[in-house]
Amino acid sequence: MARKKTAAKTTKKLVKKAVRKKTAVTKTHRKKTGVSSLSKRTNAATSKHTDKPLPRQPLGHLLVEKILREAGFKGGVSTDKHILDRYSTDESIFSIRPQIVIQPKDQRDVEIAVSVINEKKGTFPSLSLTPRAAGTGLSGGSLTDSIVIDTCAHMRHMGSVRTEHGSTLFTCESGTMWRDVEKALKKEGCYLPPFPASKDICSIGGSVANNAAGPDSLRYGHCADWVHSLEVTLYDGKTYTIKPMTYREFKILTKKNNAYSTIAKEVFALIAKHEKTIQKTRPKTKKNSAGYPLWDVLNVSVASFRRGKGTFDLTRLISGSQGTIGIITSVTMRAQPIAQDTQLIVVPVFDLMDAGKVISKALDFNPINIELFDGLTFDLALQHPEFFKDRLSKLDYYKVLLSLYTTYHVRYARKTPAFTILITIDPKSLSSRTAAGMVKALKNNHGKRARLVKNRHEREMFWQVRRASYSLSKLQDPNKRPAAFLEDMTVPPQHLSKFFAEIKKLLKKYNVTAAVHGHGGNGHLHFYPLLDFGNKTTPALIEKMAEEFFATAVKHDGNICGEHNDGIIRTPHLSKMFNKKTLSLFAQVEHICDPLDIFNPGKKVNPRFDIKGSIRDKN
């Protein structure tokens, strides 16, 4: 109570000062109030300083702390310079300084924060809330010049794993780390199949909000496919349980008078009115996190739904919405039994043009995943054996290295494959066929060197190299950084070879190297060009390259955003994938869900960040 009064007094003084001298406000406030019980729990983002001009209405932001406290907000609130610096970057290429960071203790705190911004938005339109979880996003989704609401600092409680109607389910607060869920599920012999490569450093809520995916998504889809229900705080500051509804349940909901009911009614009306356009707009690639997937909200036609079939599911819109619709406070997801006795087939491909053909053939066998890495990644692994030292136990480390060098010197006769393709199969997916039969089929279809890998250390070696591709590319030049902006392009797998050949030409044109790895079965390649962010010409280069590379992906029936979402980098380019009508539907749906623009403005629709001006200036 005493703390509340002191905070209120200090803020009052500061508000007066602010009116007299607006420009000095933020600095003074920081000095006087400092950190207000902000958790020290670290976030994946690295510390980074920028002195970009502060955006509008510092007074509004200054008042937020006072109003939050008066409304009973229990969590941390800070305008401390170092904290703001820390929240200025995520794993993307951007750096944008927030005005305030808040760390809710629980769902009630989230509701208070949303209610406060809702109430003050009329007076201070620049107030908004950008959710941030572990901050490992690659598109700048969690960056803002307004208020960051960090759901990962405190909201990490996980309930027990349970079985309902034959499904294994778990519920956790949105800031729970993926690795903690993984541990709990493993005890039950289960896992969450859409695990991203960043599963050791990212959260569940951030992954659902990004609609993340990973190697096993080839068979099991994105996070959205595993969501059972979500607790989401909507624009009215209330939290709703959002889950698939039958027509009867939908009708009952629409009789209520609340934000969820209004959103459900209006989104349904929008889908009903534009059903044909929406269905036509569905991207051709299996993986997609661009735009709002209106085509997935109903799993049957509008007419069938009205006749009582199928479901209407707003979790499909919220998953992948990057916090632009509401704040997820809790997640319930399904889990899958861990497949036993999986086998690995490796196909080194020396002629680039063979890669697409090998992958197309492998897809006939319904593998769990088809992953790949390029020759540069393999060479970097050979050049930096010490990289794997901390990742393996001593004996395993030597055995894995032995396997790496034997593969290169003996098996490949010192010739690095253009691509190494890894295919995981399980006996069930092969049904009457055998792994040996699959190897034979691949050999006959441009995969001459296909091989079943039986040795445990050799299998480990291939996966170590695949997983290390991004980190290994950092070792090429200490003065450069692998830049995430071309890292999420996806094409139908049959177009992969031609697409990759064209990308290689473009990289040559721009005189840039980029290690490549990805989810071959989905035609999904992660390119990380090595760039010097200290060089003043880099932002212009990034803009130019993004234009040309994205257009190339779309030309091959592809997509600019397979799993890392739109964020700051791709939102302005969505017009390359979607026509004006569809973009307008995205804007309408965002407006229905967030009429006051409380949640993460500038992402997914209405881009407002100047890309060149927001790019980090240090590596």
Q: Where does this chain bind ligand FAD (CB under 6 A)?
A: 90-91, 130-138, 141-142, 151, 174, 196-198, 202-203, 205-207, 209-210, 212-214, 322-323, 327-328, 470, 563-564, 600
Residue closer to ligand FAD, measured from CB, 320 or 348: 320
What single string gives the DSSP state of each residue in 279-296?
HHHS-SSS---SS--GGG
* Type of residue at 352: L
* Type of residue at 458: E
Residue closer to ligand FAD, measured from CB, 354 or 487: 487
H/E/C letters for each residue in 1-18? CHHHHHHHHHHHHHHHHH
**Least distance to ligand FAD from the beta carbon of 246, Å?**
26
Kindly give, in sequence order, each residue whose CB lies less than 8 Å from that of residue 43, ignoring residues fewer than 6 positions away.
86, 87, 132, 134, 135, 150, 152
CA–CA gap between residue 421 and residue 7 (Å, rounded): 59
Candidates 581, 599, 593, 600; CA nearest to 275 is: 581
CA–CA gap between residue 465 and residue 396 (Å, rounded): 14
Residue closer to ligand FAD, measured from CB, 106 or 275: 106
- Count the Cβ atoms, other than its own, within 10 Å of residue 211: 26
**Least distance to ligand FAD from the beta carbon of 602, Å?**
11
Residue closer to ligand FAD, measured from CB, 137 or 607: 137
Residue closer to ligand FAD, measured from CB, 133 or 439: 133
Which runs of consecutive H residues, i.e. helices, occur in 121-197?
A: 178-186
Two structure tokens written together for 64? 């937020």
**Least distance to ligand FAD from the beta carbon of 98, Å?**
12
**Least distance to ligand FAD from the beta carbon of 536, Å?**
26
Residue closer to ligand FAD, measured from CB, 112 or 138: 138
Give the nearest residue (CB) to ligand FAD.
206
**Least distance to ligand FAD from the beta carbon of 96, Å?**
12
**Least distance to ligand FAD from the beta carbon of 201, Å?**
7
**Least distance to ligand FAD from the beta carbon of 248, Å?**
29
CA–CA gap between residue 201 and residue 178 (Å, rounded): 7
Residue closer to ligand FAD, measured from CB, 130 or 522: 130
**Least distance to ligand FAD from the beta carbon of 353, Å?**
26
Kindly give, in sequence order, each residue whose CB lies less than 8 Å from that of residue 554, ignoring residues fewer than 6 positions away.
560, 576, 577
Helix (H) or strand (E) holding 252: helix 247-254
Residue closer to ligand FAD, measured from CB, 89 or 174: 174
